[in-house]
Structure 1
Amino acid sequence: MKKAFILFLVLSLSLFLVYFFLKKSSVPDFDKLEKTLYDRRIIHPNQNSWKETYTEDVEFDKVNIKLFTVENVAKAKLFTSGILKFEIDINIEDSKKLVQILNDSASYVWNELGTAEFDKKIVFYDNSNKVIGLTQIDFDNQQTYSEPHSRTMKWGNLSGRGQKVLFEILNKYL
C-alpha cells in the first residue's frame, strides 16, 4: 500500500512537471512582443498634451492605425500569471468584442495612473497567426496597456463601464 502511494505521488508530480514545462514553453516572450508592436507604431505628428489635441489625434489614428481593429482579429489568447500560468483561447466573437471595447474611448477615463503590475495579458492574432495586438491588465483590473496604442485608449485607466463590459467577457474564461 505504501509503495502504491509513493508511486502515485511520483507519477502525479512527474505529470505536473511535464505539464508545467510544456505550458511554460508555449508562453510568448511578452517583452519582445511588446517591443515589436511598439516598433511598428506610427508616431503622432502632434506630441502636445493629449487632452488638448485629443480630437485631432483620434482622427489621425482612424486613418493610420489599422492593425488593431475588429476586422483584423481572427483569434485571441488570454495568459494569466502566478504560480500556475494558464493560456486560454478566447472565441472569435469575444475576441472581436474585446478589441471593440479596448478601442472605445468610453471604456476609459482621464485619470492619473499608478505603476501597474500586470497579471493578465491578451494576445490578438490575425488570420495568418501573426500577432497584431497585446493588451496587459493590472491586478486591480482597472488599468490596461495596449500595443499598438491609440489615443482613444487615453492613458489606459478603465471607466466603470469599460471595466464592467471588459470583465463580463474575460470572467467567462477566468
Structure 2
Amino acid sequence: MSGAARPIVVMGVSGVGKTTVGTELARRRGVVFVDADDLHGAANIAKMSAGIPLDDADRWPWLDRVGAALRAGDGVVVACSALKRRYRERLHRLAPATVFVHLDADAERVAAQAQSREGHFMPPALLQSQFDALEPLAHDEPGVTVAVDAAPDALAERIERMLEA
C-alpha cells in the first residue's frame, strides 16, 4: 500500500488541534476526513457533556466504529484521541495499515485552545483527565509525534514530510 493510501489517525488530547490539523492534512492529500467525535453514541456524548470521563467500556464500541471508518476509505484521515496504547492497538487490528500522528503540546497551550472552542461537547474541565490517560506513542508503534508549534498548514506539511521519510 502506498504512503498516500495508508489511513492516518491524528491523535492527542482534546483541544490539541486534531480536527483542524487532520482536516488540513486530508485536504492536502485529497482524501476523506472523519472526526471520530462524530462516531460517539448519544450515551458517550451525554456522559462527557456532564463532565464525566469515559471509561474503557464506553470506548470499545466507539473505537470499533472508528476502525470501520479507517477501513472504509482509501487513505482516510481520522481525528481520534487514541490516548492509550491499547486503543491504538485495537484500531491497528481493525485497520492494519493505519499510521498514527500524535499531536503533542503542553497543557497550557491545549487549555487555551480548548477554552476558545465553541459548541463542543467535551468540556475543558475534562482536559486533565485526558493528559492523565495519555500514553504517548512508543518507538515500536507505527507513527510519528509532532510538536504543535506552528499553524495547521505548516504542521500538515511537516507531517507529510515525516510520513514520507
**Fold match, TM over 0.5?**
no
Larger radius of gyration: 1
Name the one with the larger helix percent: 2
Q: Which has the bigger relative contact order, CA under 8 A and spacing at least 6?
A: 2
- TM-score between both structures, scaled by the size of structure 2: 0.29
Name the one with the larger strand percent: 1
